[in-house]
Structure 1
């Protein structure tokens, strides 16, 4: 087994203003953060350059910035979209793809998300790739079948080398922004199932090296216990990334 570096992502979603983001970043810049953790924060696209500029003078050099989306085509007549090359031009190295809000609200399919992921990696970006199940799937006991179908679409388009650029975020849809959270055992079991699927269908190396994050109402209270699980390699945090509690979550490793 390899040592997988602890990773915490902060997804601001469609939240924030110049003043709010400055307050968040100022707090991160001055905090005593765990330097053994990799930290990536993801503001709305309007504030990517602003956030990156604010971070440059902070004492924590382990923080990067991610976009919340990218298109699967190069520059061209695609109104409202952002290309991989434009993110790279801005010095953005990460992007979040496959979040359930884009799957459910905007109708993005497993195949489309896989296509965007491949385009991002081919263009030099690293990807926080999300998967997760709705409540009815959890209650039916078919979570593993549901999430491995999502990851199977991704595996079809990625090479073994591509996987070094992917961090998986397991986010049960029923726990996102609801205050509900998977139990520690539920999170560990699903992460273990994902890792076993990778070992069987991709390679043992990819399974051992790929970080799998938990997301879904992560707080500073539940993060410490979740972080003790052998297959939980960190967190993708939503609402709490806008609050001082995010610092405690980063330091929960």
Structure 2
């Protein structure tokens, strides 16, 4: 929820529009900026909403429905972000229901999972992440996974300056892939993009991008800076 002046917004858009970028870039502004951004941003960079509700319409003041996003030609939505879970109390089953509806409406979903510091220190990372994934797995069909990206974001590393070590990130991503293989299929495990989020910067993205099970990044604060382009192109570097 980062407000920006008109000049700051235009500068960010201009930076992206002029940059040479690796493919598969999605940006996710606050909801009030979705349509203005869509009108100004280059078409190969896709746009995501930061959240949506699970009803197409009704008396749900303040919410955005997935059908509104589809009608506005917004192709992606982020669901299950750690702040939605921890601050707004969204359960894994509720997030699974939203995922099902979003897919049925025609959206692609960036699904966030991750553990707190206490859960990490208790060595419960895999257990927690699997408990967050299971309700989603239960409501999806195998073909639905073509429109899912999983974002592993350790809560203790978001906006704190702390970053999972390469070995921690790789272990968590490999565990997710192994769980998908057993709970869904080996094909889904192999093809699903699993991205890392948690204080990603241009300084650490290069090393993280070389890990075999890290397929990209969910970038927070650094996406508001010119270094975002360097993170996008970390594989190229």
Q: Is 1:102 the counterpart of 2:84 in the alignment?
A: yes
User: What RMSD in Å do the two structures reach over aligned CA positions?
Assistant: 1.0
Shift of 1:62: 2.6
Q: Any idea what the Cα deviations from partners look like across 1:150-190, whole Å, max 9, x if unmatched?
A: 00111011111111110000000000000000000100000
Q: Is 1:40 the counterpart of 2:26 in the alignment?
A: yes
**1:117–1:14 distance in 2 versus 1, CA, 3 Å:** farther
Give the conservation status (yes or no) of the 8 Å contact 1:16–1:43. Answer: no
Match in the other structure for 2:19: 31
Q: Any idea what the Cα deviations from partners look like across 1:15-46, whole Å, max 9, x if unmatched?
A: 43433222111100011222xx2000000000
TM-score normalised to structure 2 length: 0.97
SS of residue in 1 equivalent to 2:203: coil
SS of residue in 1 equivalent to 2:112: strand
Shift of 1:206: 0.6
Shift of 1:89: 1.1
Aligned ranges 1:122-161 → 2 under 5 Å? 122-161=104-143
* 1:206 counterpart (178, 181, 188): 188
Q: Is 1:167 the counterpart of 2:153 in the alignment?
A: no
Match in the other structure for 2:44: 62
Match in the other structure for 2:9: 21
SS of residue in 2 equivalent to 1:161: helix
* Larger helix percent: 2
> Quick one: higher RCO (CA 8 Å, sep 6+), 1 or 2?
1
Give the conservation status (yes or no) of the 8 Å contact 1:118–1:158. Answer: yes
Shift of 1:49: 0.4
Q: What is the distance in 2 between the residues matched to 1:124 and 1:134?
A: 32
Gaps (5+ residues) in structure 2?
A: none
**1:96–1:16 distance in 2 versus 1, CA, 3 Å:** farther
Q: Is 1:229 the counterpart of 2:211 in the alignment?
A: yes
Match in the other structure for 1:3: none
Q: What is the distance in 2 between the residues matched to 1:17 and 1:96?
A: 24
* 2:57 counterpart (58, 75, 95): 75
SS of residue in 1 equivalent to 2:128: helix
Q: What is the distance in 1 between the residues matched to 2:6 and 2:34?
A: 11
TM-score normalised to structure 1 length: 0.91
Q: What is the distance in 2 between the residues matched to 1:49 and 1:199?
A: 37
